[in-house]
Amino acid sequence: MSTLSQRYFADENAPYSLLEAKPFFETLSPKEKKYAHFMSRAAFEGTRILIDQTNPNALPIYDLILNVFTDKQGNMIETEALCKASEVSTEAFEQFLQYSAQFLGNQSNYKSFGDEKFIPRLSSQDFEKIVHASGSDKAIALFEQSKNEIFSVEPVAGNLLGFPQEGHVSGYYSSNVTNDDIKLVQAFLEKERVDPLNTRLFKDKQGHFKLVIAAAEEEFEEKVYALDNGSKITLSFTDFQQPLKKVAQAIHDAIPYAANETQKNMLESYYTTFRNGSMPAFVDSQRYWLQDLSPRVETNIGFIETYRDPQGVRAEWEGFVAMVNEEQTRKFNRLVDNAPLFVSRLPWTAEFERETLNRPDFTSLEVLSFATGGIPAGINIPNLTELTQIYGSKNVSLGNVISAKAPNEKFPFIRQEDLKLYKDYRNPSFEVQVGTHELGHGTGKLFSEDENGKLNFDIESVVNPVTKEKIKTWYKPGQNFNSKFKSIASSYEECRAECIALSLSPYEDILKIFNYEGQEAEDILYIMYLNMARAGLTALEFYNPDAKKWGQAHMQARYAIMNVMLEAGQDFLEFKPCTVDGKESLEIYLDRSKIRSVGAPAVSKFLTKLQIYKATADEVNGTQLYMDATNVPEKWNSTRNIVISSKQPRKVFVQANTILNQHDDQIQLREYEPSATGMIQSFASKKVENGQSHHSRDQVSALAIGLSGLSTLALGDTFPEFSKNISQSQTDFTEIALSFLKRSDGRLTSDAST
């Protein structure tokens, strides 16, 4: 393959980790298990939505993978038998497994962490051989349909997610929608009070628009409006109808197992919003969710995060189900108990904080199911300021995600003298960081004006601490943080929360909440800052210098903070050149004695500006601040090259499935091995289909795969290689088979007699 193609190869040895949930799942009552099962089902029924939102050309690849690896009943076939039947090398087949598993893990052929395309390492010819060996007519047709999408890396701009006008890929907009079109429609939506969270935007050849709203049923009629430029826009409640019907049904099935009336109301609101596309119903679901404090089974579902919409206003599908880790939650509850004290330490005056700091719900969860392209370590939701400014938010730390370890994990750029301490305290320090980070998301007031012209602040007395002048900008009716700060909003807010974590964590009483005192507390703090510096450095992997575009919100945020720490001076943070295994590398030198005197004050000063610009809807100065902080100058190209050459593959989480046993009406948990095959089997068992019947296999291929699998199971030997395209030059298949059976006859008799 070309050098360009190699740049986009899927990871060669991706580390797979089992998302361990069984010990916590087994503590649930039968009723709670039913609730968890149906809500997990609802989350995963949205898989096809998520894939289509990311890349409109990726669903055939998803269907192709499942059709290759499953029989006509939808059950997983023997991968060893498929490998043998395909006649490709073991290496090529492993590369096929890796691509398939990584596609399923990312829910796309674009990385969930980086938004960059990846392609198989094996050749198109070997890929095709494996597809044909599966004997699935549907898989063969799907390969022909998606072959170019799987392997193409040109034009290069198409290898990134982003605005279509810039040549990038997006499932939220048709390819002919321009940036000006998006702004035009956004202004219309704000005027008409239409929330774009669950929408996509398409344009026809005549220049007219269609805003499709996700809904299982067309309960609301289409409406046509005239836009300011003379074009028309049609609002249609017809997007993702088939998967949302299944989502709604699963939620309906969960209602009898709700733990209380609040949960029941939440589920009924979910059912309504996914059935008819009503955003007010979704807001209701989140209000009830906030009121359902400390449930045994926690779940949230819907169009939640806006990271991957280049405009930052449309959200992708996700849903999770998790069980409470009560021991860890007690730590977070102590953090919550002292939240007013800790928030008062943030570097802004009371006028810029919410009048009432609602007691946030902070829980440590063990994930059972998470339908998403990339599982986070923590969550702070809902992302609805109309609710969070009044009711607060829920903060969630995902314990089994944080604690998951990959085999043979390496940590480039950490000095040898820091390595043991880093390995020992990386996860514990990250737990503290996640806790204070998620707490930070729930802080800060937004200055706004309601529809009656009333301001929620005193315009005469409040002074902007950055400009030393009166407040001049605020959120107008129909506007919110995402609509004002657009594409940088998600990363900007992640940066603000990370800065809050670094600003609060030096306080000894916060570290004590997590049971760290004395020297151990100091080590935790040091590793937290060291880890942030390393994250900022490795973030360069997610920056594309050609497009001058960041591909991951959190990593862009961490790069900004790394820059702040570098610019703090006084030798607080330095990157020094070194050699590792004969290659150029870098070592991070961070002076732990200056964290409280140099590092934390610099971060707090930057945090103040982030908060003030956000609070006052000052997207002009806020955008300038953030773009300056995340600018990657050309002199950093050599550093980026070192980072790229040292990059490590990201962990891939293999999730269990819940199974409803039809015989005893009980829920069972089925786990899978942490491997590429285990990942594929996990998704095959979910049986998230497009409503069409399963594929058929031609009889010869089905026989070959079946015999090969049977022989391995019964005889401990593999059936001979087989091609359905038998020619005169090939050895006769029948003779090979007979010879094989004669060789195995003794073992077969011996096994039968025991």
**Active-site annotation, residues:** 438
Phi, psi of 204 (to 5 degrees): -90, 180
Judge if the upstream peptide bond of residue 412 is cis by omega within 30 degrees of 0.
Answer: no
Interhelix angle 124-133/90-106, rounded to 10 degrees, is 90
* Element at 576 (helix H, strand E): strand 573-580
The tokens for 433 are 């960081």
Extract the tokens encoding 617: 């809807």
**How large is the angle between the packed helices 518-538 and 553-567, nearest 10 degrees?**
110
- Distance, CA of 430 to CA of 541 (rounded, Å): 21
Residue 60 C-alpha from the chain's centroid: 21
Q: Which of 305, 321, 308, 406 is nearest to 371 (CA)?
A: 321
Q: Which two tokens stand for residue 392?
A: 């607060």
Amino acid residing at 107 = Q
Q: How far apart are CA 700 and CA 708, in angstroms?
A: 12
The first and second tokens of residue 260, run together, are: 């209380």
Dihedral (CA of 17, 23, 24, 25) sign: positive
Closest residue by Cα to residue 714 from 739, 753, 744: 744
How distant, in Å, are the alpha carbons of 225, 259, 277, 386, 672 from that of 303?
25, 24, 11, 16, 28
695 marked as part of a ligand binding site: no
Torsion, CA 239, CA 306, CA 375, CA 73, rounded to 10: 10
**Contact present, 163 and 171 (Cβ < 8 Å):** no
Distance CA 308, CA 461 (A): 39
Paired residues of 600 in beta bridges: none
- Furthest-apart CA atoms within the chain: distance in Å: 96
Q: What is the DSSP letter of 651?
A: P
Contacts of 565 (CB under 8 A, 6+ apart): 529, 532, 533, 536, 572, 573, 590, 599, 602, 603
Count of C-beta atoms within a 10 Å radius of residue 95: 23
Residue with tokens 């809902």: 382
Helix residue spans in 545-660 (DSSP H): 553-567, 600-615, 619-629, 637-645
Q: Give the 3-state DSSP-derived string for 189-230, with helices as H, strands as E and coil as C.
A: HHHHCCCCCCEEEEECCCCCEEEEEECCCCCCCCEEEECCCC
- 508 annotated among ligand-binding-site residues: no
- Is there a binding annotation on residue 721? no
How many CA atoms within 13 Å lie on the side-chain side of 401?
25
Binding residues for Zn(2+): 437, 441, 494
